Chains A and B, each alone.
Chain A
Amino acid sequence: MSSGDYYTFGLHIRSEILCPELMIHAQPGAEPEVTIRLLSQVPEVTESLEKKYYEVEPRTFRMSVGGVAHYLVEDGNRISVEPAEGATLEKIRLFLLGSAMGALLYQRGLFPLHGSAIETPWGAMIFVGPQGVGKSTLGSQFHRKGYKVLSDDVCAVTTAASVGASVMEVLPALAHFRLCTDAFERLGVPESGIFHVDKFVVPLGEGYCSHPVPLKAIHVLGNQESGDPIFEVLRGFDRVKYLLENLYRPEYLERQSTQSDLMRMAGAIAQQSAVIKVTRRRDTALIPATVDFLESAWEETFGPPRASAPKKENG
């Protein structure tokens, strides 16, 4: 069977399901760290159509998505996919690169946050917050302004515990963005994007970052009805709470030992990077202004950017 070699979340993945959303791995000959197998046997349909069902055991994660596929994630290095009859590859990949990959990241001891991340001269900046708060939209506007995108939807943060390193890094993930329709129209992205469930998928072209970047700050986005945007660097134990609240699908973790690892990682991340509350009006017309606001706030908080600042649209 044909397969593709990809690079995502800092991992070399060999997949029997071709994934145009992922970066192609530069040295496909090497032994992959993760393999994705496509099994021909059709899974038993145990749940009604579209109903999601999952099961977590130590080192094993199973998920059935009615009408799509059955996924099995094991030992942080193997994913098996049994597609349902008539399932489209696009839908199979949606859950493969979302839920199944999220479970794999937990198995590998990474800290997966639900949000988007960009590379800046100060380091990696992550945006988290509730569904629909505008994480992808903000990341996409930074991308338009010349910043490179590290991740959208799931941001994997390494910690000393997960890779034996002293610096925390955000691992580069996907080479596409998923945007809500209103933001899609506002940003004027050409038709190269395709409609994908409830969001548009926009290929990033050259605009993605292909190497891990040291983590600088995590921004918790919030909305307000009116007034100027607020940038508040958090102190105290609330930081740990915000990090844990924004984990990607924490329900995939049921074992207490893993929870206590995550708690320790949250403390370590809060210790080494800034946790910042950003509150602004949720108005697509104000997205460029929010980007300018954040650039100024970063300069004020972290000092002038390094010389290699990204090129800006208007000079």
Chain B
Amino acid sequence: MRSFQPGDKLSRTEKMLSTDLDQETVLMSIEAGAYYGMAGTARTIWEKLQTPMTFAALVDELVKQYAITPEACAAELQGFLGEMEREGLLHVE
């Protein structure tokens, strides 16, 4: 599995349709026809990535918003971002 580095530039894939429903953002992949629901922190991360940013910048943003240390946040993000990338939701440069 990939390990994200602080300088990795993250952006959302453009090939998604999205809508809001209750407290969730619902995404549909145009190519695969798959659906994803983003709630809570996942939704926050998805919204932040509307503007492409580095892994380090994303950690900074989240630390400001949630009671979490940068180290713990970076560790948590590894798993979630990896999953997003595997599903084709995330573009990494």
A and B held together in a complex: yes
Which residues of A line the B interface, CB within 8 A?
236-241, 244, 256, 259-260, 263-264, 266-268, 270-271
Query: In the bound complex, how far is the Cα of B33 from the Cα of A153, in angstroms?
Result: 24
What per-residue 1/0 map shows which CB atoms of B34-63 lie under 8 Å from chain A?
011100000000000000000000000000
Query: In the bound complex, how far is the Cα of B20 from the Cα of A271, in angstroms?
Result: 9
Query: In the bound complex, how far is the Cα of B28 from the Cα of A266, in angstroms?
Result: 12
* Interface residue from B21, B30, B36 paired with A267 (Cβ < 8 Å): B21
Residues of B within 8 A of A260 (CB): 17-18
- For B24, B26, B28, B35, the residue with the greatest tally of chain A CB atoms inside 10 Å of its CB is B26
- Asked if residues A267 and B19 are in contact (CB atoms below 8 Å), the reply is yes
Query: In the bound complex, how far is the Cα of B35 from the Cα of A268, in angstroms?
Result: 16
* Interface residue from A236, A240, A268, A270 paired with B28 (Cβ < 8 Å): A240
Which residues of B line the A interface, CB within 8 A?
17-22, 24, 26, 28, 30, 35-37
Residues of A within 8 A of B36 (CB): 237
- Asked if residues A237 and B17 are in contact (CB atoms below 8 Å), the reply is no
Closest to A240 in B: B26
- Asked if residues B30 and A240 are in contact (CB atoms below 8 Å), the reply is no
- Asked if residues A237 and B26 are in contact (CB atoms below 8 Å), the reply is yes
7 A-B pairs (CB sep. < 8 Å): A236-B24, A237-B21, A240-B19, A240-B26, A244-B28, A271-B21, A271-B22
- Asked if residues B37 and A263 are in contact (CB atoms below 8 Å), the reply is no
- Asked if residues B24 and A266 are in contact (CB atoms below 8 Å), the reply is no
- Asked if residues B17 and A239 are in contact (CB atoms below 8 Å), the reply is no
Query: In the bound complex, how far is the Cα of B18 from the Cα of A260, in angstroms?
Result: 7
Least Cβ–Cβ distance between A269 and chain B, in angstroms: 10
Residues of B within 8 A of A237 (CB): 21, 24, 26, 35-37
Closest 8 CB pairs of A and B: A267-B19, A237-B37, A263-B17, A237-B26, A240-B26, A267-B21, A241-B35, A263-B19
Known: A237-B36, A238-B35. A263 touches B22 (CB 8 A): no
Residues of B within 8 A of A259 (CB): 17, 30
Query: In the bound complex, how far is the Cα of B26 from the Cα of A271, in angstroms?
Result: 12
